[in-house]
Amino acid sequence: MKQEMMEIVNQVELAPRIFEMTLKGELTQEMVTPGQFIHIRVPREDLLLRRPISLAEINHDNQTCKIIYRVEGDGTRAFSHCQLGEKLDCLGPLGNGFDISMIEEEDVVYVIGGGIGVPPLYELGRRLKEKGANIYFLNGFASKDVMYYEKEFSELGSLFIATDDGSYGTHGHVGMLIDDVSQKTTKPKAIYACGAPGLLRAVESTFSDHPHVYLSMEERMACGVGACYACVCQSKKDPTVNKKVCDEGPIFKAGEVII
């Protein structure tokens, strides 16, 4: 983990309130595991806490990484107002990241994302493709307007999309795609998911007896490095035991923590 002032070399609005930002710096060399995040200081003196944002793409050749974020409040709004050439104080990479060590060529893998949980799954998809996996992406969005990266995910594997309002793809939530895709494939070697708690719970219960189900959890964070206990969730085996999402997560195996 390192801290660096990374330069903003690109920023585009992919959809209303959803931005893709490209950051450049040596910190990129430390970024090796998909599913990790960076903790970014908001360029406003009154906002003291950093904001955690997942790594959506890592490019070691030109020392850049991409993040995709949705404007929720003051912090992310401040990011969206940043100009090219400005520098952001980034700490990272943080968190454990997705375990893909068991994946071999031709393995079927399900990658399931909802809304603003989709970004880290893009770098995950790139790594799985490098391993020669057969990837099935199941992405859910509120509506067609807020969809992004359709082309990018399609280039890595088979993409299935659901929208809550039926404006694109299957009408309904992303969980509804699982049955559909299950009929088209052999048993997946692993399932990876990132999104709202409802989505994670649905994935956990659908694949309850599967040994390789990995869920990316979100909690509000303060320090981001395991020191303050702001981000804890409870262990499922023993609810008196806390797990810190920032450094023991954000990825947990299904059944490990209470969602």
Residues that bind ligand FES (CB under 6 A): 221-224, 226-231, 244, 246
Closest to ligand FES by CB, 199 or 233: 233
CB 161 within 8 A of CB 170: yes
CB of 70 to ligand FES, least distance (A): 20
Interface of this chain with ligand FAD, residues 79 to 98, rule: CB under 6 A = none
Closest to ligand FES by CB, 23 or 221: 221
Closest to ligand FES by CB, 14 or 230: 230
Task: Please pick, from the candidates 31, 65, 124, 221, the single residue that binds ligand FAD as defined by CB under 6 A.
Answer: 221
Measured CA to CA, the distance from residue 249 to residue 203 in angstroms comes to: 17
Closest to ligand FAD by CB, 69 or 192: 69
CB of 37 to ligand FES, least distance (A): 11
Tokens describing residue 26: 């040596």
Place of tokens 């990266």: 149
- Please classify residue 23 by burial: count the beta carbons closer than 10 Å to its beta carbon, then call 0-12 exposed, 13-18 middle and 19+ buried: buried
- Choose one: 25-33, 63-71, 149-157, 166-174; the region binding ligand FAD (CB under 6 A): 63-71
Closest to ligand FES by CB, 12 or 228: 228
Closest to ligand FES by CB, 94 or 159: 94
Residue nearest ligand FAD by beta-carbon distance: 73
- Choose one: 62-70, 143-151, 173-181, 235-243; the region binding ligand FAD (CB under 6 A): 62-70
CB 71 within 8 A of CB 136: no
Interacting partner of 20 out of ligand FES, ligand FAD, none (Cβ under 5 to 8 A depending on kind)? none
- In the chain, the amino acid numbered 163 is T
Interacting partner of 54 out of ligand FES, ligand FAD, none (Cβ under 5 to 8 A depending on kind)? ligand FAD
Tokens describing residue 162: 């659901």
Measured CA to CA, the distance from residue 91 to residue 77 in angstroms comes to: 19
The distance in angstroms from the start CA to the end CA of the chain is 27
Q: Where are the alpha helices (DSSP H) in 13-94?
A: 74-80
- Choose one: 21-29, 136-144, 177-185, 219-227; the region binding ligand FAD (CB under 6 A): 219-227
- In the chain, the amino acid numbered 115 is G
116 binds ligand FAD (CB under 6 A): yes
- Please classify residue 72 by burial: count the beta carbons closer than 10 Å to its beta carbon, then call 0-12 exposed, 13-18 middle and 19+ buried: exposed
Provide the annotated binding site. 51-54, 68-70, 75-76, 223, 228, 231, 246
Whether a cis peptide bond, with omega within 30° of 0, leads into 197 is no
Q: Where are the alpha helices (DSSP H) in the chain?
A: 74-80, 119-130, 150-154, 175-184, 197-206
> Dihedral, CA atoms, 224, 226, 232, 238, nearest 10 degrees?
150
52 binds ligand FAD (CB under 6 A): yes
> Interface with ligand FAD by CB under 6 A: which residues?
37, 51-54, 67-70, 72-76, 116, 119, 218-221, 250
